[in-house]
Every structure is written in C-alpha cells, then in structure tokens.
Chains A and B, each alone.
Chain A
Amino acid sequence: MSEVANSHVTEIAVILSQEKIATGIYSMWIKTVAAKNAKAGQFISLYSSNGATLLPRPISICEINEEKTALRLVYRIVGKGTAEFSSMSKGDEIKVLGPLGNGYTLKDKTAILAAGGIGIPPIVELAKQLHHQFGCRLNIVVGYRNDELFLIDELKQHGEVFVSTEDGSVGTKGNILDAIRENNIEADIIYACGPMPMLRAVKELAKSKEIEAQISLEERMACGIGACLGCVCKTKDKDEHTHVNNTRICTDGPVFEAEMVEI
C-alpha cells in the first residue's frame, strides 16, 4: 500500500475586497494559503456555487501578498462563473484550488513584458518580482481596447510603461507590437500574456531577434490538474507525459518557451 500524498487540497477562501476597475473587469483580493507558495504566472481555480455551472474557472494570479496570505485576482466577466464571482463581496467565501501551473521563470535580463487585455494581470506580479529580485530594466508594453488603463499604476512602479490602444485614445494606436516598433524597444527576453494573435506575433518577434520568449497560454479546461486532457497545446517535440506532440496547459504550462509550442 502506498501513502497518500494529499499535496493538493481544495480550500474555502475568504474574499477580502472586490472592486470594479474597468468596464467588465474586477479586482478581488482573497485570503488563501495558496499565497504561501504561489509564483508569478500561475493560476488558481475558482469554483462556482451554482450547481448548473460545474467547472472550475482558471484565473491568473495578479498579485501575491505572502505576509497577508492573500492573492489578488483581476478578471473579466466572460460568462456565468465570472459574473457570479463579481457579485461576491468582502467576507464571502469561495472554493478555490491552487496555485496551479508552472509560472514564469525569472531571468536577470533586460526584459519586455508584453501583455494585452485580460492578459495584463499576471505581469503585475511578474514585474514586481523582476524589479525587486534583480532590479533589471523592464520595458512594460501593455495593450488596451481604449483609455480604461486598468493596472497601469501598479505597473509604473516597476518599469517604463508603453501603452497601445485599439482606438488610439492613449499611446500607440494599434497593438503592443506596434508600440514595441514605434518606441524601438530592445530586450534580451520577452515575457508575454494575452490573446493568441498577440502571442504568435511575440513568438515571431523573439525568433527574428534571436531572444527567449516565455508566453502564457489559455485554453478551455475541465479539471485544471492534468487529468482530463482538455486544455492541450501542440508542441514541437513529443511531450514527456502525453507521448504525443501536445502538452497540458494546466500542468505543464500555462507558461511555455515560445519556441517549444506550435501556436
């Protein structure tokens, strides 16, 4: 007989605060032991209390406060689950599981942190850690739809921030690649999170500059712990676990070396 590891447990977390920070975008601090070993780029699963909304929602970690054992989650309302979370307030309880996934591998290098839309939250903790651990030069390039520049004040504390907006209301009109070009930003590494077309462009850019890129991927998940094989991504090489050319985003990601994944 084997001993039971029980290294993962679901937990009832308490909501410390809930705030709307832009149209359809909410910021929530929760008290959870998951904060003790969480890393930048990891995610946490939140469970709905509605019996018709079964699956856990993977939400990226925006900030970690180890002292207060608290995590900040910034999320967009995209369906029933996230709508339910946004309606919760201070003192409410929510079932969580995490931290999940691998997170970014931090390097002491001049960096571009590239993020778009709801891909912006995880780079807040990343910027904070890169700034405090290495003090390396950070070029933070963030893309928004319009002038609702959520999380920009947090980012400005850790590096130089460049903005692109789809409607041209602030910064470069266009996407983050346009902002990188317009400002001639150079770096030795790119950390990215955002929509797939942006990640593809980041992968191409890194390849042409012959620099490393770590990109965070997103996919529909069921279990969030590597069992269901719902959230896979095509890989260049055969994956060690699956023995085919795809890998599990929930457990082997969500952050991948861009050159290793076919996106």
Chain B
Amino acid sequence: MGAMLNTKVNIAGVELKNPVMTASGTFGSGMEYSEFVDLNQLGAVVTKGVANVAWEGNPTPRIAETHGGMLNAIGLQNPGIDVFVKRDIPFLKQYDTKIIVNVCGHTEEEYIEVVKRLANEPVDMLEINISCPNVKEGGIGFGQNEKSVYHITSEIKKHAKQPIIMKLSPNVTDITVMAKAAQEGGADAVSLINTLTGMKIDINRQTFALANKTGGLSGPAIKPVAVRMVNQVANAVDIPVIGMGGIANYEDALEFILAGATAVSVGTANFYNPYTTIEIVKGIEEYMKAHGCEDINQLIGIVNK
C-alpha cells in the first residue's frame, strides 16, 4: 500500500481534483465527449467560447490538416449566452468537475455583457479569450498589445464575480510582457498558448486550404513552442499558469507541469483520441507513483528550482 497521492491543484482559490482540463473550442460543453469519457474524472471542463449573442462563425472549409497538427478557422461560432446558460451550464452541473466558461466578444462591452450575465451562474472561473486569431474584431485584437491586455483585464475584473483567467496568444514578440500586463490588470491566472496563426495552400485547387485564408495551428507540432512560453511566463508572473499546446499524452502534460504550469488543457488530441484527457489523469498518477511523488504540487515548475 503506497501513500495517498495528492493530485489536487489550486487556481485562485478554486480546487481542482487534478490538473487536467479541456482546451476551449475542442470539447464543446462536454456533451459530445461525455459519451467517451467520464467528465467526473476531469479537473475542469473549459467550454467553447461564448459571446453575448449567437455567432455564425466563418465559411467552410474551416479545417485543414498539417504535419503533426491542424489549422482551424471556426471563427468562434457559438449559440450565445442565453442558450448557453439554459442548456450547457445545467448539463455540466450534473458532473463533479469544475466549470470554466470561455468568454469572447468583438468589443469590450460584449465581453462585459457576458461576464455580467454569468455573475450569478454556478460556474467556477471565467477564461477570457483575447487570443483567437480567426475573428476580424475582438479576440487577438485585444491580446497583442500590453496596454490593451491591461485595460481589458482590469475592466473585466471590475465586473467578474468569478476568478478570471486571461488566455494569451503566442502571436506576439514577448509573451511575458502580455502575461505581466494581465497580472497587473488583476488577472487571477493566465492560460497559454492559444493557436499560432498559420496558412496552408491547397496545390490542387491552387488556393487557400481554409476559406478564412489563415487559421490557428494546433496539435503536437506546436508543443515545444508552448512549453517554452509556459516556462517563460511561469518565471515572469506570480499568478498560476495553465499550460496547453499540443498535449496528447501524460508525458506531454508533465512537461508543461514541470516547466511551471499549475494545470494543463488538452485540445486537438481530443479530436483524434477522445479518451486523451482520462488517459492523462491516469498517466500522471502512475508517474507520481513511479517517481515517489506524493503531491503533484511538488512537480510544478520543478525545472526552475
């Protein structure tokens, strides 16, 4: 009999049973994946981005595969906050997992409208999407300049009843500058990385593979970039860092944790292995046993010590 393992991590006062979460936009609101995995076993479910009203998203093709990765240009299609509150939150409340709602908007006012609407809802945290590369207004527009990161963070913080996580874009010169601006603005945590802006040309049709021309690159191909940025940010700020970008197995998840992430999100891997999240939960426990580690918190940022 070994000692009890502690896999619990704490982000801004919210205790997760383990550090494994889903990445926004890859897991819907959990409904589709609840047929494959037991959502009760996840640290948290991060929902697809939701806006004040329904968004249609971009024209198709919205998806293109690349070597070891994929490009998407969904364009934040979502049913709007009213439907989300009525349908998606009650669905997730059936499970013993934390609910993190990803919030998107074209303007500061739209973000705030959603944040206010969620104030009295039973959600645990808000993740503010200031890094989507696939919408013309909003999204990444707020996330590539330190002043605007600070500004939107502090404005949202005034209205948010739940802790806020600012989701950062890798499409910047120095991501630590944005992370520090978010911390300064009152962010309770940061999550990174969102997708890297990319492009694919279809040589048979002799045009862009995506109708939007550009899309966000995700999947195993981007993992080393993500680990590097998570490590840099973990060393630059005092608030918790949630790491993501190409995580497909427990070894990948541990790289992020050892680099400084308090929790990790699984995204693209859900598309090709719907069991990834649960496999990672189990794999981390096995790793802890094998390495004589009783508390996962001892592993966070261990490479920096």
Seen from chain A, the residues whose Cβ lies within 8 Å of a Cβ on chain B are 1-2, 4-10, 47, 51-56, 79, 97, 219-223, 225-233, 241-246, 251
Task: Give the chain A neighbours of B274 by CB distance below 8 A.
Answer: 8, 10, 97, 223, 225
26 A-B interface contacts by CB (under 8 A): A1-B94, A4-B39, A4-B40, A8-B36, A8-B274, A9-B36, A10-B36, A51-B220, A52-B68, A55-B70, A56-B272, A220-B62, A220-B63, A222-B70, A222-B271, A223-B26, A223-B271, A223-B274, A228-B26, A229-B74, A232-B60, A233-B60, A242-B79, A244-B77, A244-B79, A246-B56
Q: Does chain A have a CB within 8 A of B65? A: yes
Partner of B271, one of A8, A55, A242: A55
Cβ–Cβ < 8 Å partners of A9 in chain B: 36
Question: Which residues of B are found within 8 Å of A223, using beta-carbon distances?
Answer: 26, 32, 270-271, 274
* Residue from A4, A232, A251 in contact with B57 in the complex, judged by beta carbons closer than 8 Å: A232
A-side contacts of B64, CB under 8 Å = 220
Per DSSP, chain A at the interface is loop
* B65 lies within 8 A of A54 (CB): yes
The residues of A that contact B224 with a CB separation of less than 8 Å are: none
State A223–B23 Cα separation when bound (angstroms). 14
Please pick, from B25, B36, B56, B273, the residue contacting A245 in the complex, using a CB distance under 8 A.
B56
Q: How large is the interface on B (under 10, 10 to 19, 20 to 34, 35 or more residues)?
A: 35 or more
Closest Cβ of chain A to B279, distance in Å, is: 12
- Chain A residues contacting B60 (CB-CB under 8 Å) are 219-220, 230-233
- CB-CB under 8 A from A8, the residues of chain B are 35-36, 274
Taking CB atoms and an 8 Å cut-off, the chain B residues in 76-125 that contact chain A are: 77, 79-80, 83, 94-96
- Contact between chains at B67 and A52 (CB < 8 Å): yes
Docked CA distance A232–B78 (Å): 12
User: A6-B36, A54-B68, A242-B77 are known contacts. Are A222 and B95 too (CB-CB below 8 A)?
Assistant: no
Which 3 A-B pairs rank lowest in CB-CB distance, beginning with the nearest?
A: A243-B79, A230-B63, A2-B94
Across the interface, do B79 and A2 meet the contact criterion of CB distance under 8 Å?
no
| Any A CB within 8 A of the CB of B55 | yes
Which residues on B sit within 8 Å (CB–CB) of A6? 35-36
B54 within 8 A of A: yes
| Distance, CA A66 to CA B196, complexed state (A) | 45
Q: Which of B14-65 contact A (CB under 8 A)?
A: 25-28, 32-40, 48, 54-57, 60-65
Is B72 an interface position by the 8 A CB rule? Answer: yes
CB within 8 Å of A: which B206-251 residues: 219-220
* Interchain CB contact (< 8 A) of A227 among B27, B69, B70, B80: B27
A241 to B63, CA, bound (A): 20
Chain A residue contacts of B57, Cβ below 8 A? 229, 232, 244, 246
Query: Are B96 and A228 in contact, with the CB atoms below 8 A?
Result: no
| C-alpha spacing A220/B80, complex, angstroms | 24
A5–B61 Cα distance when bound, in Å, is 32
